[in-house]
């Protein structure tokens, strides 16, 4: 199992468009992937979970992945979240 | 009689057909959870097929944007957490699939309803929409949907969702009455595009009307009459007949080019969404005199990308097929907000950071829009217009950024046409007064009367205590208009008008006499103006 902490930097947070990009990316991996905010876990492969998390700018989120490609999954999602612009 | 928001013009008389949002779902115990889950899986797969079909059909009938809604619906149907929650409910509580779907979709909808962001709130209705669809298939009853109305009727519903509007049979739906919604809501726009009379925002119309009641729906007055007496029916039938007669009478003017006293006058359309270009064409618009771009920004929870904007501009330019299209750059602020820009609250928003001022303050945002517009220029006859210009310095600054956007595109080897024209709105008194100077800088003016009147007379017409002072034909306004037209003509440029005064038929003659070259109005008004200006000659 791998875990990493990222900070959401884009002004509008994880709204629909970034959320759907993130979910599509997460689906590419075999591992189980979760986003953790305020000690609550959200399935990164579920658009409704990710949107319901309601992550805003400045929020710190942990990414947790478990499975054969957990390392790649973490790296790729970390980069995606950190690169969000609008 | 019930009063709501007049959302789509026309009179409808017919029987009420109530569409119940909350489908009654019975709860019962199931012995074999596994079988119940299989039944759910089959229903989901049928639902997917159904949505795919509507999605494909709606691209052609009501536009891509709405088709996008169905993509979101498909994503919900493929959502592992959503589907697993339903399955767990069936498994743990041994309940029927219909009830489990209802419970889970309501739970999720509630989460979204509790969110602050308007966009997320609206997603709640998407989830319920999908849930109801699955339930309908599970229970084999599809009777209570708009797709299956038996005969001509007036639809009475809580709200009309995008998927319902996509399936609405125009021949059978005489009118639409809803509890929720307003003039710019989704249902209103669809109703206007399909030309179905609609009264929205009635509050509790689904409670006061019973299935089969006779209704009169007046989409101009925003009125619903339930079970009217013969006298009232007669009166409204006459009104309906009159409207129809006028409509068909007016359509004769569609292909007329206004050519009066040797002057060619352009009658153009104001549109706010790209889909409305179809209405403009239908009513014979000589061009688009004002394409408001705000909706591209307001329909979303974040700034539209350059590509998204480009597609919308290109769409309208192509559809107009060489006729002029004036795209106005972002006019936000005042009473129009974009929550995601996180702008400071202002004491006097109408005198604050709005329209071109905001764009010059947020050059990134402005340039993205200008690049998108320029890129669309190769697809038709483009004119760009800046709103709210109040002085020369400001205009030159805006032109400078337009130039930069051009240079960027040239540098990146992205094609655009240099043949576009540039104009400004005249809606601030200072601009009208120095219009002789501004006229040397641009290719055309378009007078925005709503703001020009409120700024000149210092009247907020929404304020009931002073709205009596809002007088469009005040001599000061007429003088300013005359000054603007004369100054423009002296510099050899043309002047249009895209404010409400352009569609005031009692002003048409005066404005024509003053020398106005173009009237831009809401699409259905085009015919009235063509008729009014008369002295016409039949074009092709």
CATH of the domain at B49: 1.10.274.10
Domain boundary among B248, B280, B311: B248
Q: What is the mean pLDDT of residues B182-200?
A: 77
Of residues A2, A4, A10, A15, which has the active-site annotation? A15
Looking at the structure, tell me whether residues B396 and B265 fall in a common domain: yes
Average pLDDT over residues B215-223: 94
Residue B72 with chain A: CB contacts under 8 Å: 16
Q: CATH number of the domain at B154, please.
A: 3.50.30.10
- Which of B109, B139, B169 terminates a domain? The answer is B139
B127 contacts in A (CB within 8 Å)? 48
Which site among B81, B104, B109 would you substitute to test the A interface, given the most A Cβ atoms closer than 10 Å to its Cβ?
A: B81
Task: Tell me which of B294 and B57 has the higher pLDDT.
Answer: B294
- Alpha-carbon gap, residue B124 to B252, rounded angstroms: 45
> Residue B261 has what DSSP assignment?
T
Q: A23-27, B382-386, B464-468: which has the minimum mean pLDDT?
A: B464-468
- Domain total of chain A: 1
Find the range with the poorest average confidence among B22-26, B140-144, B220-224: B140-144
Asked if pLDDT for residue B251 goes beyond 90, the answer is no
Q: Determine the Cα–Cα distance for residues B344 and B97; give it in Å rounded to an integer.
A: 49
B498 is catalytic: yes
- Lowest-confidence pick of A63-77, B116-130, B343-357: B116-130
The domain boundary, picked from B101, B121, B139, lies at: B139
Chains A, B: CB contacts within 8 A come to: 47
Mutation target for A interface from B111, B113, B364: give the one with most A CBs within 10 A.
B111
The model's pLDDT over B353-368, given as tens digits with 9 standing for 90+, comes to 999 999 999 999 999 9
- Residues B325, B456: one domain? yes
Residue B164 has pLDDT above 80, yes or no: no
d(CA B258, CA A68): 73
Is there a contact between B79 and A46 if contact means CB atoms under 8 Å apart?
yes
Percentage of chain B surpassing pLDDT 70?
Answer: 92
User: Does residue B536 have a pLDDT over 60?
Assistant: no
Least confident of B96-100, B438-442, B463-467: B463-467
Are B81 and A43 in contact (CB < 8 Å)?
yes
Output DSSP code: residue B24: -
Closest by Cβ to A86, choosing from B76, B79, B302 = B302
Are B296 and B378 found together in one domain?
yes
pLDDT higher than threshold 80 for residue B539:
no
| Same domain as B406, residue B278 | yes
Q: What is the CATH number of the domain that holds B385?
A: 3.20.20.60
- Residue B9 is assigned to a structural domain of this protein: no
Check the annotation: does B427 bind a ligand. yes
- Tell whether the model's pLDDT for residue A14 goes beyond 70: yes
Q: Choose the most confident range, by mean pLDDT, from B174-188, B378-392, B496-510.
A: B378-392
Whether B8 is covered by a domain: the verdict is no
Q: Is residue B235 predicted with pLDDT exceeding 80?
A: yes
Looking at the fold, whether B363 and B483 belong to one and the same domain comes out as yes
pLDDT of residue B299: 65
Whether residue B395 is found in the same domain as residue B448: yes
Show Cβ contacts of residue B416 under 8 Å, excluding neighbours closer than 6 positions: B374, B375, B377, B378, B406, B409
Half-sphere exposure of B456 (CA within 13 A, CB side): 26
pLDDT of res. A55: 82
| Closest Cα in chain A, distance from residue B382 (Å) | 29
Does residue B163 sit in the same domain as residue B125? no
Is B81 in contact with A48 (Cβ distance < 8 A)?
A: yes
> Of A46, B144, B104, nearest to B96 (Cα)?
B104
Cβ contact B80–A43 (<8 Å): yes
Per-residue pLDDT of B478-525, as tens digits, reads: 999 999 999 999 999 999 999 889 989 999 999 999 999 999 998 888
CB–CB contact A15 B120 (8 Å): yes
B286 close to B268: Cβ distance less than 8 angstroms: yes
> Which among B80, B82, B342 has CB closest to A11?
B342
What pLDDT, on a 0 to 100 scale, did the predictor assign at position B119? Answer: 67
Average pLDDT over residues B237-246: 91
Domain membership of residue A27 as a residue range: 2-82
B540 pLDDT more than 50: no
Q: Do A15 and B302 touch (CB under 8 A)?
A: yes
> What is the pLDDT at residue B61?
58
Round to whole Å and give the CA distance between B122 and B124.
Answer: 5
Please report the residues numbered 2 through 61 in chain A whose beta carbons come closer than 8 angstroms to any beta carbon of chain B. 11-12, 15-17, 20, 23, 43, 45-49, 51-52, 54
The Cα B319–Cα B277 span in angstroms is 7
Instruction: Band the pLDDT of B311: cuts 50, 70, 90.
Output: very high
pLDDT at B334: 76
- Between B49 and B444, name the one with better pLDDT: B444
Q: How many domains does chain B have?
A: 3
Are B79 and A11 within 8 A, CB to CB? no
CA distance B230 to B213: 14
Confidence of residue B534 (pLDDT cuts 50, 70, 90): confident
Determine the structural domain holding residue B164 and report its residue range.
Answer: 146-248
Q: What is the band of B166 on the pLDDT scale with cuts at 50, 70, 90?
A: low
Q: Given a cut of 80, is residue B13 above it in pLDDT?
A: yes
Please pick, among B17, B186, B474, B489, the residue that the annotation labels catalytic: B186
Give the pLDDT score at B426. Answer: 98
Interface residues of chain B, partner chain A, Cβ below 8 Å: 72, 75-76, 79-82, 108, 111-112, 115, 117, 119-120, 123, 127, 301-303, 340, 342
Strand pairing category for B198-200 and A40-43:
unpaired
Work out the percent of chain A whose per-residue pLDDT is above 70. Answer: 98
Please tell me which of B103-107, B268-272, B340-344, B435-439 the model is most confident about, judged by mean pLDDT.
Answer: B435-439
Confidence of residue B255 (pLDDT cuts 50, 70, 90): confident
Residue % of chain B over a pLDDT of 90: 59
Contact across the interface for B302 and A17, Cβ inside 8 Å: yes
Cβ neighbors of A67 (< 8 A, separation 6 or more) are A29, A30, A31, A32, A73
Question: Do B506 and B406 have their domain in common?
Answer: yes
Are B504 and B392 within one domain?
A: yes
- Catalytic residue check, B186: yes
Q: What is the pLDDT of residue B439?
A: 98
Asked whether the predicted pLDDT for residue B436 surpasses 90, the reply is yes
Q: State chain B's mean pLDDT as an integer.
A: 89
Longest dimension (CA), chain B: 87
Co-location of B498 and B421 in the same domain: yes
Would you place residue B246 in the very low, low, confident or very high pLDDT band (cuts 50, 70, 90)? confident
Closest approach of A86 to chain B, Cα-based (Å): 7
β-strands B198-200, B173-178: how paired?
parallel
Work out the burial of residue A5: count CB atoms within 10 Å of its CB; fewer than 13 is exposed, 13-18 middle, 19 or more buried: exposed
Mean pLDDT of B307-314: 95
CATH number at residue A41: 3.30.1340.10
Kindly state the average pLDDT of the residues B50-73. Answer: 71
Task: Report chain B residues whose CB lies below 8 A from the CB of A54.
Answer: 115, 120
Report how far apart, in Å, the C-alpha atoms of B284 and of each of B170, B239, B502 are: 22, 25, 17
Predicted confidence at residue B22, as pLDDT, reads 62
């Amino acid at each position: 199992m791998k875990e990493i902490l990222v900070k959401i930097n884009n002004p509008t947070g994880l709204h629909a468009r970034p959320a759907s990009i993130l979910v599509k990316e997460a689906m590419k991996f075999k591992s189980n992937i979760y986003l953790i905010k305020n000690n609550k876990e959200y399935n990164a492969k579920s658009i409704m979970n990710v949107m319901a998390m309601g992550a805003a700018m400045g929020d710190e989120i942990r990414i947790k992945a478990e499975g054969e490609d957990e390392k790649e999954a973490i790296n790729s999602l970390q980069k995606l979240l950190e690169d969000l612009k609008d | 009689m019930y009063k709501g928001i007049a959302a789509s013009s026309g009179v409808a008389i017919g029987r009420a057909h109530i569409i119940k949002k909350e489908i009654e779902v019975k709860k019962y115990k199931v012995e074999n959870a596994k079988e119940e889950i299989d039944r759910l899986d089959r229903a989901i797969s049928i639902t997917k097929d159904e949505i795919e079909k509507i999605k494909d059909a709606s691209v052609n009938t009501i536009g891509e944007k709405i088709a996008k809604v169905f993509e979101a619906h498909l994503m919900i149907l493929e959502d592992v957490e959503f589907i697993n929650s339903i399955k767990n409910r069936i498994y743990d509580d041994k309940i029927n699939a219909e009830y489990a779907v209802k419970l889970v979709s309501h739970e999720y909808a509630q989460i979204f309803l509790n969110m602050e962001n308007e966009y997320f709130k609206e997603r709640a209705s998407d989830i319920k929409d999908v849930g109801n669809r699955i339930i309908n298939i599970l229970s084999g009853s599809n009777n209570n949907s708009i797709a299956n109305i038996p005969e001509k009727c007036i639809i009475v519903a809580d709200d009309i969702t995008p998927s319902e509007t996509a399936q609405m049979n125009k021949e059978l739906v005489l009118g639409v009455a809803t509890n929720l919604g307003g003039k710019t809501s989704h249902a209103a726009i669809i109703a206007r595009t399909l030309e179905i009379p609609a009264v929205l925002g009635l509050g509790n119309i689904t409670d006061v009307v019973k299935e089969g009641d006779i209704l009169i729906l007046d989409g101009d007055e925003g009125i619903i009459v339930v079970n009217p007496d013969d006298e009232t029916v007669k009166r409204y039938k006459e009104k309906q007949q009159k409207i129809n007669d006028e409509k068909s009478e007016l359509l004769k003017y569609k292909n007329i080019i206004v050519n009066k006293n040797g002057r060619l006058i352009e009658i153009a359309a104001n549109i706010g969404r790209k889909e409305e270009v179809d209405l403009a064409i239908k009513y014979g618009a000589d061009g688009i005199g004002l394409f408001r771009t705000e909706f591209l920004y307001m329909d979303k929870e974040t700034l539209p990308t350059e590509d998204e904007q480009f597609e919308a501009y290109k769409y309208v330019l192509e559809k107009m097929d060489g006729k002029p299209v004036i795209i106005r750059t972002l006019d936000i602020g005042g009473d129009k907000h974009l929550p995601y820009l996180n702008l400071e609250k202002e004491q006097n928003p109408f005198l604050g950071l709005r329209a071109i001022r905001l764009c010059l303050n947020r050059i990134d945002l402005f340039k993205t829009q200008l690049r998108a517009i320029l890129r669309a220029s190769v697809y038709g006859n483009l004119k760009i217009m800046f709103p709210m210009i109040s002085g020369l310095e400001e205009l030159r600054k805006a032109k400078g950024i337009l130039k930069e956007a051009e240079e960027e595109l040239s540098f990146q080897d992205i094609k655009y046409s240099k043949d576009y024209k540039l104009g400004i709105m005249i809606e601030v008194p200072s601009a009208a007064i120095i219009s002789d100077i501004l006229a040397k800088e641009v290719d055309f003016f378009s007078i925005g009367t709503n703001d020009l009147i409120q700024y000149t007379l210092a009247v907020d017409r929404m304020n009931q205590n002073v709205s009596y002072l809002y007088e469009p034909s005040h001599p000061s306004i007429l003088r300013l208009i005359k000054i603007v037209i004369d100054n423009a003509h002296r510099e050899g440029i043309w002047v249009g008008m895209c404010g409400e005064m352009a569609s005031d038929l009692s002003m048409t003659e005066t404005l024509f006499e003053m020398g106005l070259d173009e009237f831009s109005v809401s699409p259905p008004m085009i015919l009235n103006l063509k008729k009014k200006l008369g002295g016409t000659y039949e074009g092709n």
